[in-house]
Amino acid sequence: MSVEENKRLAREAIKILTTGDLDAADALYASDYVNHQHHDPEDSRDLHGVQAMKNFAKEFRQAFPNFHDSIDIQLAEADMVATRFTSMGTHRGAFMGVEPTNRELTWTGHPVCRTTE
């Protein structure tokens, strides 16, 4: 795949949390997908597989129903894509053991993705 196609795929994968289109994960993530991001303070294991990502995204969207993010910058080489994004959402539901605060939160993320054909 081209570097531009890899960047597009990385943007689409990040966008799943914004759109809530969990079915898009089937086309974007490999069956042996692994996410090394720390997701739960009581369970520091990686996410393994597409269904685990969908479950996380569903829980996340329930906690932040108005969540959206923007891509700030992307750098890519060969099959690797680094993306910096800014996210915003109002904490309306319990998430990772934290009860809703009803506050708008803003944060940045820096995932590095590897694409496969």
| Average pLDDT value for the chain | 88
Residues 63, 40 contacting (CB under 8 angstroms):
no
Look up the pTM and report it: 0.80
Please state, in angstroms and rounded to a whole number, the distance separating the CA atoms of residues 73 and 93: 30
Which tokens in the block code for residue 112?
Answer: 């590095």
Listed residue (111, 28, 21) closest to 67, CA to CA: 21
pLDDT 10s digits, 88-103: 999 999 988 899 999 9
- Strands 104-109 and 80-90 come out as antiparallel
Domains of the chain in start order, with CATH, are: 3-114 (3.10.450.50)
Which tokens in the block code for residue 41?
Answer: 């303070």
pLDDT 10s digits, 53-87: 898 889 889 999 999 999 999 999 999 999 999 99
pLDDT above 70 covers a percentage of the chain that reads 92
pLDDT above 90 covers a percentage of the chain that reads 47
